[in-house]
Structures are given as C-alpha cells and as structure tokens.
Amino acid sequence: MKPSEIRNMTEEEMKRTLASLRDEYFKLRLRRSSEELPNPLRLRMIRRDIARMLTILRELELKKKKIVEEKD
C-alpha cells in the first residue's frame, strides 16, 4: 500500500485497516510455524504496511497537537 493511498483514508478507515493488517499478520505467523506459506514475502509487506500506517497516524496526531498548542 502506498503512502498516498493511506493519506487519502480517513482516520477511522486507517484504524480499521491497521487492525485487519495486524490480524492477517498474526494469522500468517501462526500458519508459518505449522506449514509453508505460499507467499512468504507477504509477511514483510504486511509488516511494512503496518509501519507506514502507524507513521501516518502519528503525523496526524502531531498535527492536531500543534494546532491545539497554537490556539492556546
């Protein structure tokens, strides 16, 4: 998932997508321990997508904080 795609989402959509990615990552890790995955690189892609989402959510949080501080 590209950062531009993530930035076009609302905060709620990002949180839902993040939760589903974490769930998928967890299930793939469990599956990897018992059998061979058809696409082992999917784990890496999911982990990086999670990191991108968290980074963009943090950026939004800092922007909100900065706006509040400027009002005071």
Determine the Cα–Cα distance for residues 10 and 41; give it in Å rounded to an integer.
28
Q: Looking at the 3D structure of the chain, how many domains does it have?
A: 1
Q: DSSP for 10-72?
A: -HHHHHHHHHHHHHHHHHHHHHHHHS--S-THHHHHHHHHHHHHHHHHHHHHHHHHHHHHHH-
C-alpha separations of 66 from 28, 61, 63, 72 in Å? 38, 9, 5, 10
Which residue range is the domain that position 65 belongs to?
3-71
pLDDT tens column, 6-23? 999 999 999 999 999 999
pLDDT score of 61: 95
> Domain holding 23: CATH number?
1.10.287
Distance, C-alpha 22 to centroid of its chain: 8
pTM of the predicted structure, to 2 decimals: 0.89
